Structure 1
Amino acid sequence: MSATTTTLLIDRTPAKAPKAWWQAAPFALVFLLFFLIPLALIAMVSLWNFNEYELIPALTLRNYASIFEGCSGLTDNGDLCVTLSTYLSTLKFCLLVWAITLVVGFAVAYFLAFHVRSPGMQTLLFVLCTVPFWTSNVIRMISWVPLLGRNGLVNQGLVGVGLVEQPVEWLLFSDFSVVLAFVHLYTMFMIVPIFNSMMRIDRSLLEAASDAGASGWQTLWNVIVPLSRTGILIGSIFVITIVMGDFVTIGVMGGQQIASVGKIIQVQTSYLQFPLAAANAMILLAVVLMLIWSLTRLVDLRKEL
């Protein structure tokens, strides 16, 4: 082989690819700046002391102790302490909303993926599902007030047809209205990942199940649901994390009468009790991470993706 040929082969050799950590560096930097550093600052402030006038950068567990003060047993009335009651109330809303959005989201995604044959119609119906997101969450919440209020359209209709003798009080500013608003606001976060998982299912598997004599429900439970579990998990993580930290929806639809962890943090920050709010935020983060960890034990997300 001549020297000229050797030179040409060397020139055509592809350049050495950059190392993997160089490729991941920009994403790692974003993760560091916008997640790890803020989280570390919140954890640090949660260990600070404070008074009516200033923050005192001295490490103390006083904030965590004050949050769980009186939680070693039941109160004189036989109730749980304020902190545990608030977390149980927040978990109640979280589980209710998660269950309802899962059923509704799965049903809508199933209809779009398996009953709508035209790709154009699928796209159109999917876009229609996103229409509510074109407006503010607050506007969508407030839109329920003239419907569910004491003199709202729903109560007028119920009284008009004779189903009730007087307006129903629990339709608005109640647990019902809070759950309804949550489902209205966040069902789309369940629809999208489940629909994406269902669109990846090989349709020949459904035909094989039908040829094997499986009924529609058997195919749904033994084929579609297992193959959609990645989307179910991702949608569940979205809904749980959003509902656990939400305070606007509970404040507006609960008439400022229903407590939640997010509402407590918001009130504490408004009174400039930042260390207490930071401590509550860290506890809330730990609870949410435990819920997510429990879900990931059911599905190995990294393997599925």
Structure 2
Amino acid sequence: MSQRGGIAPYLQAAPLALVFLLFLVIPLAIIVMVSFWTYTDYSIQPAFEVQNYLDVFDRCIVRLPTLCTTFRTYLSTLTFCAIVWALTLVIGFTVAYFLAFEVRSPTVQSLLFLVCTIPFWTSNVIRMISWIPLLGRSGLVNQALIGLGLIDQPIEWLLYSSFSVTITFVHLFTFFMVVPIYNSMLRIDRSLIEAARDAGASGWQILWNVIVPLSKTGIAIGSIFVITIVMGDFITIGLMGGQQIASVGKTIQTEISYLQFPVAAANAVVLLGTVLLIIVGLTRVVDIRREL
């Protein structure tokens, strides 16, 4: 019986472990392997060379303090990531706080939470394209501003710019911040808030000293979701940036389109390493496993 009891947890985890192995570990291992292969304009040859990684960071060190193309691309991607993370955190925390603490009825909470999921009933591409009639040169925003007499000429930077990419990112990914923060807030013991209020704490003091610390697990998980998606995105940047804005994901997509699979794999490995470093930094701040 003790042996069966010892084996049972492994048998229960085996299906998920098999899926994890087939669809994550093995593909990642193949990408790492291909990143060391050599290639020409006509063929790809198995090998073990670091030339692809040298090509990714070609002359980056010797050009310092001037940034090379790779460093500028990573800086652009990290800038988008930081801005989108900050905006989604503020909006997501506000929405989650309203649902968890301002809405008293569990039924209404569930209904409003369901409303938040409505945008996910349509394709991401459709949700991106929906901004074009709003932000375009002849779009609703420009026409409204001209009609109100606030501007004489359409604002050019509303679409196919960093602004349109950022606002689309926020639109697409805020819900990934709402869900884990909302889940963390639901687990907060309301008696702690009442005790803080009885002790004379103001609303802001309760928010900063009670709710935020107890929601840090949800904040960390939501941050991981948003950061990982934005760092690897190339569709949103390509479509809403008018193919004029550089990103790491766009670079990899371009290399793949030219059949430069080994250097694209090397770029992907470097991107994965960068994302993992960010995630490790977050987990150093918040011990997610202990808090869950």
The residue identity in structure 2 corresponding to 1:26 is P
Q: 1:25 offset after TM fit, Å?
A: 2.3
**Aligned twin of 1:246:** 233
2:105 aligned to which of 101, 109, 118: 118
1:45 aligns with 2:34: yes
How do 1:223-262 residues align onto structure 2 when only pairs under 5 Å count?
223-262=210-249
- Out of 110, 130, 133, the position equivalent to 2:117 is 130
Q: CA deviation at 1:18?
A: 4.7
Tell me which residue corresponds to 1:56.
45
Residue 74 of structure 1: how far off its partner (Å): 3.4
1:116 aligned partner, one-letter code: V
Give the superposition deviation at 1:28.
Answer: 2.0
The answer to whether the Cα contact below 8 Å between 1:193 and 1:234 also exists between their aligned partners in 2 is yes
The runs of 5 or more residues in structure 1 that have no matched partner are: 1-12
Partners of 1:92 and 1:62 in 2: how far apart? 28
Match of 2:195 in 1: 208
| 1:79 positional shift | 4.2
Once the two structures are superposed, residues 266-290 of structure 1 have per-residue CA deviations (whole angstroms, 9 ceiling, x without a partner) of 0111111000110000000000000
SS of residue paired to 1:272: coil
Structure 2: stretches of 5+ with no match in the other structure: none
Separation in structure 1 between the aligned mates of residue 112 and residue 74 of structure 2, nearest angstrom: 37
Q: TM-score, normalising length from structure 1?
A: 0.93
- Of all paired residues, the percent bearing the same amino acid is 67
Partner of 2:264: 277
> Please, which moves more after superposition, 126-135 or 66-75?
66-75
Q: State whether structure 2 residue 276 is matched by structure 1 residue 289.
A: yes
Contact 1:93 1:179 (C-alpha < 8 Å) held by counterparts: yes
* Contact 1:73–1:80 (8 Å) recurs in 2: no
- The answer as to 2:20 corresponding to 1:31 is yes
Q: Which residue of 2 aligns with 1:17?
A: 5
For each residue in 1:30-70, what CA deviation from the matched residue of structure 2 results, as whole angstroms up to 9, or x when unmatched? 22111111111000000000001111101111100011112
Q: Give the distance between the partners of 1:176 and 1:165, measured in 2 at CA.
A: 21
Aligned to 2:207: 220
- Mean CA deviation greater in 18-27 or 171-180: 18-27
Q: Which residue of 1 aligns with 2:58?
A: 69
Q: What's the offset of the Cα at 1:303?
A: 0.4
- How far did residue 26 of structure 1 move? 2.2
Shift in alpha-carbon separation, 1:79–1:16, aligned structure 2, 3 A: closer
Query: Is the Cα–Cα contact under 8 Å of residues 172 and 254 in structure 1 kept in the other structure?
Result: yes
Residues 145 and 172, structure 1, Cα contact 8 Å, conserved in 2: yes
Q: Tell me the distance in 1 between the aligned counterparts of 2:121 and 2:252.
A: 28
Q: 1:14 to 1:274 in 2, by over 3 A?
A: closer
Q: Secondary structure at the match of 2:188?
A: coil
**2: CA distance between counterparts of 1:25 and 1:128?**
36
**Which of these residues, 157, 160, 173, is aligned with residue 144 of structure 2?**
157
The SS at the match of 1:106 is: helix
Rounded to whole Å, the distance in 1 between the matches of 2:112 and 2:80 is: 29
Shift of 1:23: 3.0
* Paired residue type of 1:240: I
Structure 1 pair 125–68 and aligned structure 2 pair: CA distance change class (3 A) = same
Give the Cα separation in 2 of the matches to 1:175 and 1:16. Answer: 58
Question: How many residue pairs align between the two structures?
Answer: 291
- The CA distance in 1 between the partners of 2:100 and 2:55, in whole Å, is 51
- What is the distance in 2 between the residues matched to 1:294 and 1:16? 39
Decide whether the 8 Å contact of 1:105 with 1:191 is kept in 2.
yes
The answer on 1:299 being equivalent to 2:286 is: yes
Per-residue Cα deviation, 1:184-233 (whole angstroms, up to 9, x for no partner): 00000000000000000010010000000000000000000000011001
Give CA deviations for 1:110-153 in whole Å, capped at 9, x if unaligned. 00000001111111111111100000000000010010001101
Secondary structure of 1:17's aligned partner: helix
TM-score, reference length from structure 2: 0.97
Question: Match for 2:93: what amino acid?
Answer: F
Q: Given the alignment of the two structures, is residue 140 of structure 1 paired with residue 159 of structure 2, yes or no?
A: no
**1:14 Cα deviation (Å)?**
10
Q: How far apart, CA to CA, are the structure 2 residues paired with 1:283 and 1:250?
A: 20
Q: Give the counterpart of 1:198 among 170, 185, 190.
A: 185
